[in-house]
Amino acid sequence: MTKPIVRLYLLVMVLIGILVFATSWWTVFGAKGLRDNPRNRRELLEQAKIKRGEIKAADGTVLARSVKAPGDTYRRTYPTGGLFSHAIGYSYTNIGRCCLEQFRNDALTGQRPELTSLIDQLTGKRRDGDDVTTSLDPKAQQVAIDALGGQKGAVVAFEPATGKVRVMVSVPGFDPNRVREKGYFEALNRDNANAPLFNRVTQSGYPPGSTMKVVTALAAIDSGKFTPGSVLSGKNGIVISGVPLNNFGGQEFGDVDLTTALTNSINTVWAQVGEKLGKATMAKYMTRLGFYSKPPLDYPPPQKRASGPYNARGDLLSPLSPRIDVGRMAIGQDKLLVTPLQMAMVAATVANGGVLVRPHMTTKIVDADGRVVDDVPTDEITRVVSTSTAAKVNQMMRNVVREGSGTAAALAGIEVAGKTGTAEINIPQDITQPWFIGFAPASDPKIAIAVTVERTQGGTGGTVAAPIARQVMEALL
């Protein structure tokens, strides 16, 4: 009789343990996931009764606020319209939320530790959201949008020493005030040709063209295998991975050093460098720079994409995959796809003396009583290359703007360092993807930038992207 009782006792204890574990999981560990789940209408309805905190630009401009609505609820409104549509996003009961509105939802809805929340409920204290202050610059943001001139593309700029994002533009955008309108959100989702809800800064996968040569230069010099003065042949048609490679426009060069090769963006030189470095060395420096991982931005993970080589099915390849043509990857060709944010991180690393700092939009969170509850610090991710290497590549990039393909990015009285890129999307139709990455002032960098424009007719990085970068840098500096 004793054994059946013991077995029953053990069974009851196991069932109680499972019940405790399941309850703890959903109330503690899985709580945030439930709150963030766009299908959780109960959470959305409850939060509609909370006055969400404001989201502000660096200059105090209100980018998002809550106003009274029927039924003791609040409705979100966006005073600057579509100016920051992809950075700030939207938050509506009938739709859900995205972008910074989603990432900072806990703060904006006044989520507190359980003990604090319980005390507030017992004392009848109203639950208001915290205000979120960002580093975004409305004037420079408008300059970037105007400079793109309706062309599909992206501009992102941040401070290399602090990681503060000043500009994040993806065109086309949308008006977050209209997202709640019947039919508007559905129309945005159906517009596959323009993809207005898609953030090209963080989600796009574009071939980087010759901007990738900055990554190759960092790896080449920091590895000790090359110097800016190392000489290689710039002859057109050099065989890379068994196939002849052409320089842009079929240009022919003799023996040139790496500084000249970057200034004139000589494909055959940098492809040879990539082959000599090999996949393992390229992978080491690419990984340090953030490739192969989603960008470390305060932004929802589903709205971010990792940069790196992809196969035809859209899968990210292993850094040492036999399918990678390392010579062509080293010049931004082959299977390489990147986000503009990733390439801005490359430029920022050079600008910041070889150290990569985590980019972020949020600078501080302030509660309803005016207390700073979170002051977002500068967060160094890693030292990518030595200070000496960064200084050498900085000088090489200055030469690109001083006398190479990036002269259109030059600013009066301020030296700019940069690199252009022109990815060939469709050679027979002459469709290209122009790029510019860079920073300024070159001797004491305050801003790093990446600009790209989708599918232009014969446009180059120097003629299309560099002038846009110049206007944005000028607005910020």
| 425-434 long-range Cβ contacts below 8 angstroms, 24+ apart | 425/207, 425/455, 430/457, 430/458, 431/455, 431/456, 431/457, 432/456, 432/457, 432/458, 432/459, 432/460, 433/206, 433/207, 433/209, 434/209, 434/459, 434/460, 434/461, 434/463, 434/464, 434/465
Catalytic residues: 210
The rounded distance, in Å, linking the Cα atoms of 447 and 200 is 20
Looking only at the bridges linking them, the beta strands covering 153-158 and 372-375 are unpaired
Distance CA 455, CA 317 (A): 25
Task: Answer whether 240's CB lies under 8 Å from 362's CB.
Answer: no
Amino acid 452 reads T
Residue 258 to residue 270: CA distance in whole angstroms: 8
Q: What is the CA radius of gyration of the chain?
A: 25
Q: Where are the beta strands (DSSP E) in 241-297?
A: 243-245, 255-257
Q: According to DSSP H, which parts of 425-465 are helical?
A: none
Report yes or no: 50 and 110 within 8 Å, Cβ to Cβ: yes
Q: What's the chain's length in residues?
A: 477
Q: Is the dihedral of CA 254, 256, 260, 261 positive or negative?
A: positive
